[in-house]
Amino acid sequence: MNTKEYIASGILELYVAGSLSEKENEEVHATILKNKELLIEVRSIENAVLQLTAAAKKDAAYSFDDIKAQLTVKETKVISIKKPKTNWLQYSGWVASFLIGSILMYTLSQNTQLKDQVANEKQQLEEQIDKASTNLADAQKLIDIFRDKDIISIPLVGQQVSPTSYAKVYWDKKTNSIYLDAKGLPDPPKGKVYQVWSLKLTPLTPTSLGILDTFTADANKIFTITNENQSEAFGITLEPAGGSLSPNLEQLYTLGAVSS
C-alpha cells in the first residue's frame, strides 16, 4: 500500500478519533514515524477535529490558572509517591531503629551484667578487706599477747606418735587463759578430735581443758582456752569425737612442761 492509498483508506481519521485497536494504533504510529507525509496528514486531520470539537464548547470560560494550584499540590504529591525511594528510606529507617534498639538492649544488658559483676566484686572485696582487717586485728592481738611480759610461753614438742608435731602454749596467769598455737599439728583423722590437757606431774593428774573441735576449720589454729589450774605441763592427745574423760597417752601428740 503506497502513501496515497494509505491516506485514502481513512485509517488516519480513525487513528485521530481513537477508534482503532491498541495493535492498530502501534502500527499506524510506526508507519507515521517512517513517513513525514503521513504525519502532516495526521496533524491536519487533528487540527480539523480540534476546531470542530471546540465549536461544541458552550459559554463557560476556561483558564489554566483554575487548575494550576491543584497541579502544584499534585506535583509534590507525585514526588512523595515515588514509592521505591520512600519505602527504601522507610525500611532502612526501620532497620536502623531496630539495630539501634538491639544495640541499646544489648548495651543495657551488658551494663546490668557489669553492674552485677562490679557489685559482686565489690562485695567480695569488702569481705576480703573485712577478713583482712579481722585477721590484722587478730594478729595484732597475738603480737600483744606474745609481747606481754606476764605471759609464759611453753613449747610443746612432738611425741612418739607424731614426732614432727609441735605446738605452743601462751599462758596468761592474770586472766587465767591460755592461747594455744596448734599450727604444728596435722589435721586430725575423721571421727577423731584433739583434746588439750593440763597436767600435774607428781602425781600425774590430767585435767581436760577441752577439745579442739573447730581445728580443721580454724585458719590460724590459735585457740583461746580458760585455764584456772596450777598447770605444770600441757599435753595434746588424739581422742574419739566428743573427747574423753582421761587422756589416751598412746595418742599423745605433743607435750611440754612449764618451766618454773
Partner 1 sequence: MDQELLILQFQKKDVKAYEKLYNLYCSSISGVVNNIVKNDDVAQEITQDVFIKVWNNAESYSPQKGRFFTWILNIARNSAIDYTRSKKFKQSKQNLNADFFVDILETSSSLDSTTNTIGLTDFVTKLGDTCKAVIELLYFKGFTQKEASEELNMPIGTIKTRNRTCIGELRIMLGV
Measured from the CB atom, the residue of 46 and 232 that comes closer to partner 1 is 46
Candidate list 3, 35, 37, 47; residue touching partner 1; CB under 8 A = 47
Candidate list 11, 180, 185, 233; residue touching partner 1; CB under 8 A = 11
Q: Which residues contact 253 (CB under 8 A, 6 or more apart)?
A: 158, 159, 161, 162, 165, 167, 185, 194, 236, 237, 238
Q: Which residues contact 142 (CB under 8 A, 6 or more apart)?
A: 179, 220, 222
User: Three-state DSSP class for 151?
Assistant: strand
Give the separation between CA 32 and CA 41, rounded to whole angstroms.
10
Q: How far is the CB of 87 from partner 1 (least distance, A)?
A: 18
Measured from the CB atom, the residue of 59 and 150 that comes closer to partner 1 is 59
How large is the angle between the packed helices 36-54 and 22-34, nearest 10 degrees? 120
Q: Is 143 exposed, middle or buried (0-12, 13-18, 19+ CB in 10 A)?
A: exposed
50 binds partner 1 (CB under 8 A): yes
C-alpha cell at 254: 605433743
Q: Which x/- pattern, by CB under 8 A, does the window 62-101 give for partner 1?
A: x-x-xxx-xxx-xx--x-----------------------
189 binds partner 1 (CB under 8 A): no
Candidate list 2, 4, 5, 59; residue touching partner 1; CB under 8 A = 59
For partner 1, the binding residues (CB under 8 A) are: 8-11, 13-22, 25-26, 29, 42, 44-60, 62, 64, 66-68, 70-72, 74-75, 78
